[in-house]
Amino acid sequence: MAQQKTRVRSIRIGSVVLLGIALVAAIVWGSVLVRTQMLENAKELATRLATSYAQLAQTRLSSFEQFLSYSASRMDELISDGADGARMQRWLEGFNSGMASTMDSEMADPYAVIDGTIIAANPWEGDEDFDYSQASWYQGALKARGAVYATDAYTDTITGRSIITLSIALSGSGNVLAFDIQLDELGAVAAQRAADSSMGYALFDRNGEPVVSSGLLSTESPESSEFLNRLREEIDAGFLDQSDASIAGPDGTNLSVFFTELDPGWLSVVTIPTMSLLMNGITPGFFALIALCALLLGVVIYTVLRERKSSRAMHESEDIIRILGNTYFGIYRINYLDQTYTTVKASPDTAAAMGKSGTYAHFMDEMRKVVQEETFERFAESFSCENIRRREQEGVTEFGGRYLRRFGDEYRWVSVASITNAEISNGEAIICFRAVDNAMREEMQRQELLESALETARQATSRQQRFFSNISHDMRTPLNAIVNLTQMIRRNPDDREQTMRCLALLEEAGNQLVTLVNDILDISHIQNVEQSALDLATVDLVECARTSVELARPQAEQGNKVIELHSAWQSRWVRADSKRLGQVLNNLISNAVKYSLEGARVDVTLSEPDAREDDSRKARLFQIEVADTGIGMTEEFLGRIFDPFARETMFAPRGVVGTGLGMPIVKNLVQQMGGEISVSSKVGEGSVFTVTIPLEVASSPEQKASDESAVRGKAADEGAVSFAGRRVLVAEDNLTNQMIAEALLGALEIDVTCVDNGKLALEAFRDADSGAFDAILMDMKMPVMDGVAATRSIRALERPDAKSIPIIAVTANAFAEDAAEARGAGMDGYVTKPIDAAALAHALEEVWS
Does residue 281 register a pLDDT over 50?
no
pLDDT at 286 over 50: no
Same domain, 33 and 144: yes
Average predicted confidence (pLDDT) for the chain: 76
Q: Which residues pair with 808 in a beta bridge?
A: 777, 829
Q: Cα–Cα distance between 376 and 211 in angstroms, integer?
A: 44
680 and 558 in a common domain = yes
Amino acid 761: pLDDT: 95
Residues with Cβ within 8 Å of residue 361, at least 6 apart in sequence: 339
- Do 122 and 21 lie in one domain? The reply is yes
Instruction: Please answer whether residues 215 and 198 qualify as being in contact, where contact means their C-beta atoms are separated by less than 8 angstroms.
Output: yes
The pLDDT value given to residue 789? 93
Phi, psi of 418 (to 5 degrees): -105, 130
- Of 396-405, 486-495, 747-756, 836-845, highest mean pLDDT: 747-756
The identity of residue 425, as a single letter, is: S
- Residues 21 and 135 occupy one common structural domain: yes
Looking at residue 171, its pLDDT comes to: 87
Please list the residues that pair with 430 across neighbouring strands: 333, 419
Alpha helices in 115-159 (DSSP H): 136-144
**What is the sign of the dihedral through the CA atoms of 570, 575, 579 and 584?**
negative
Q: Which domain holds residue 564?
A: 531-701
Q: Please list the residues that pair with 433 across neighbouring strands.
A: 330, 416
Residue 648 confidence (pLDDT) above 70: no
| Residue at 811 is within a domain | yes
Residue 259 lies in a domain: yes
Q: Is the pLDDT of residue 602 over 90?
A: yes
Q: Going by C-beta distance under 8 Å and a sequence separation of 6 or more, which residues neighbour residue 764?
A: 729, 753, 755
Cβ(561)–Cβ(599) below 8 Å: yes
Q: Residue 2 falls within a domain, yes or no?
A: no
Instruction: Label residue 774 by pLDDT band (50, 70, 90).
Output: very high
Between 11 and 416, the more confident residue is: 416
Domain boundary among 140, 156, 179: 179
35 and 160 share a domain?
yes
419: domain CATH number? Answer: 3.30.450
Return the closest-CA partner of residue 481 out of 509, 513, 503.
509
| The pLDDT value given to residue 6 | 45
**Residues 627, 332: Cα–Cα separation, whole Å:** 80
Look at 401 and 653; give whichever has higher pLDDT.
Answer: 401
Pairing mode of beta strands 340-345, 330-335: antiparallel
Q: Give the closest residue to 478 by CA, choosing from 445, 516, 447.
A: 516
Report helix, strand and coil shares of the chain as percent, to nearest 5: 50, 20, 30
Q: How confident is the model at residue 626 (pLDDT cuts 50, 70, 90)?
A: very high
Rounded to whole angstroms, the Cα distance separating 622 from 607 reads: 6
Beta bridge partners of 752: 728
- pLDDT of 755 reads 95
Domain boundary among 701, 731, 761: 701
pLDDT for residue 285 is more than 60: no
689 or 210, which is more confident: 689
Strand partners, 399: 418
- State yes or no: pLDDT of 156 exceeds 80: no
Q: What is the pLDDT of residues 229-273, one digit of tens each?
A: 777 777 877 777 776 677 877 777 777 777 777 666 677 777 777
Residues 512 and 541 in one domain: no
Q: What percent of the chain has pLDDT over 70?
A: 67
The angle, 0 to 180 degrees and rounded to 10, between the axes of the packed helices 2-80 and 282-293 is 160
Answer whether 417's CB lies under 8 Å from 435's CB. Answer: no
Q: Which pLDDT score is estimated for 280?
A: 44
Average pLDDT over residues 139-164: 79
In eight-state DSSP terms, residue 134 is G
CATH number of residue 790's parent domain:
3.40.50.2300
CB 212 within 8 A of CB 186: yes
State the pLDDT at residue 655. 45
Position 797 scores a pLDDT of: 93
Indicate if the pLDDT at residue 177 is higher than 50.
yes
Q: Write down the pLDDT at residue 806.
A: 94
Top-ranked range on mean pLDDT: pick from 314-323, 398-407, 785-794 = 785-794
Q: Are strands 601-607 and 562-567 parallel, antiparallel or unpaired?
A: parallel
- pLDDT tens, 433-475? 988 888 778 777 777 777 777 776 676 566 556 556 556 555 6
- The band of 361, judged by pLDDT with boundaries at 50, 70 and 90, is very high
Residue 116 has, within 13 A of its CA and on its CB side, a CA count of 0
Tally of CB atoms within 10 A around 145: 9
Distance CA 460, CA 468 (A): 12
Cis-peptide, bond into residue 834, ω within 30° of zero = yes
Tell which of 527, 558, 578 closes a domain: 527
Cα 193-199-205 angle, rounded to 5 deg: 80
Query: Do residues 190 and 42 share a domain?
Result: no
Helix, coil or strand: residue 73: helix
Would residue 363 count as lying in a domain?
yes
Among candidates 138, 115, 135, 119, which has minimal Cα distance to 127?
A: 119
Q: What is the mean pLDDT of residues 192-197?
A: 54
pLDDT at residue 110, as a whole number: 87
Can you give the pLDDT at residue 50? Answer: 65
Region of poorest pLDDT, from 227-236, 313-322, 693-702: 313-322
- Determine the pLDDT at residue 512: 62
Q: How confident is the model at residue 291 (pLDDT cuts 50, 70, 90)?
A: low
pLDDT at 757 over 90: yes
Supply the pLDDT for residue 55.
Answer: 67
Beta strand residue intervals within 710-791, DSSP E: 727-731, 751-755, 775-779
Please work out, in degrees rounded to the nearest 5, the angle formed at the alpha carbon of residue 334 by the alpha carbons of 329 and 336.
150
Cα separation, 344 vs 333, in Å, equals 7
Buried b / exposed e along 646-656 (16+ C-beta atoms within 10 A):
bebeeeeeeee
Nearest Cα to Cα of residue 181 among 127, 107, 81, 116: 107
**Residues 15-65: tens digit of each pLDDT:** 555 655 665 566 656 556 655 655 666 566 666 666 766 666 677 777 777
Q: What is the 3-state secondary structure (H, E, C) of 636-677?
A: HHHCCCCCCCCCCCCCCCCCCCCCCCHHHHHHHHHHHCCCEE
Instruction: For residues 547 and 516, state if they share a domain.
Output: no
User: Is 382 contained in some domain?
Assistant: yes
Using one digit for the tens of pLDDT, what is the confidence trace for 82-129?
Answer: 888 888 888 888 878 777 776 656 667 888 888 888 888 787 665 566
Cα(266)–Cα(185) distance, integer angstroms: 15
- Give the start-end residues of each E strand in 170-299: 176-182, 200-204, 210-215, 246-248, 254-261, 267-273
Residue 380 to residues 383, 384, 421, Cα–Cα distance (Å): 5, 6, 22
Range name among 2-6, 245-249, 587-591 with the lowest pLDDT average: 2-6
In a domain, 302, yes or no: no
- H or E stretch covering 112: strand 108-114
In 3D, which of 773, 783, 790 has the Cα closest to residue 826?
790
H or E element, residue 174: none
Residue 298 falls within a domain, yes or no?
Answer: no
Stretch 764-769: mean pLDDT: 93
The residue among 58, 50, 104 whose CA lies nearest residue 215 is 50
The yes-or-no verdict on residue 526 having pLDDT over 90 is no
Over the stretch 294-306, which tens digit does the pLDDT of each residue have? 565 565 465 555 6
d(CA 429, CA 524): 66
Phi-psi region of 273 (alpha: psi -120 to 50; beta: other; left: phi over 0): beta
Specify the number of domains making up the chain.
6
Angle at 833 between CA 519 and CA 738, to 5 degrees: 160
Distance CA 700, CA 669 (A): 25
Are residues 537 and 519 part of one domain? no
List, in sequence order, every beta strand (DSSP E) within 303-395.
Answer: 330-335, 340-345, 357-359
- The domain spanning residue 573 has which CATH number? 3.30.565.10
Judgement on whether residues 202 and 350 belong to the same structural domain of the protein: no
Q: CA quadruple 34, 40, 44, 49: dihedral positive or negative?
A: positive
475-522 tens-digit pLDDT: 665 676 677 778 778 878 888 888 888 887 777 667 667 766 766 665
Higher pLDDT, 116 or 560: 560
Both ends of the chain: CA-CA distance in Å?
A: 157
Taking the mean position of all CA atoms in its chain, how far away is CA 7? 96
3-state secondary structure of 196: coil
Radius of gyration of the chain (CA): 44
Q: Assign residue 288 a region: left if phi > 0, alpha if psi is -120 to 50, beta otherwise? A: alpha
Contact 171, 146 (CB under 8 A): no
Which run of H or of E encompasses 111?
strand 108-114
519 and 571, same domain (yes or no): no
Higher per-residue pLDDT: 510 or 567? 567
Burial of 504 (0-12, 13-18, 19+ CB in 10 A): exposed
Q: Is residue 301 part of a domain?
A: no
Cα→Cα distances 354→362, 377, 736, Å: 8, 20, 93
Q: What is the CATH number of the domain that holds 522?
A: 1.10.287.130
Q: Residues 164, 218: one domain?
A: no
Provide the whole-model pTM.
0.36
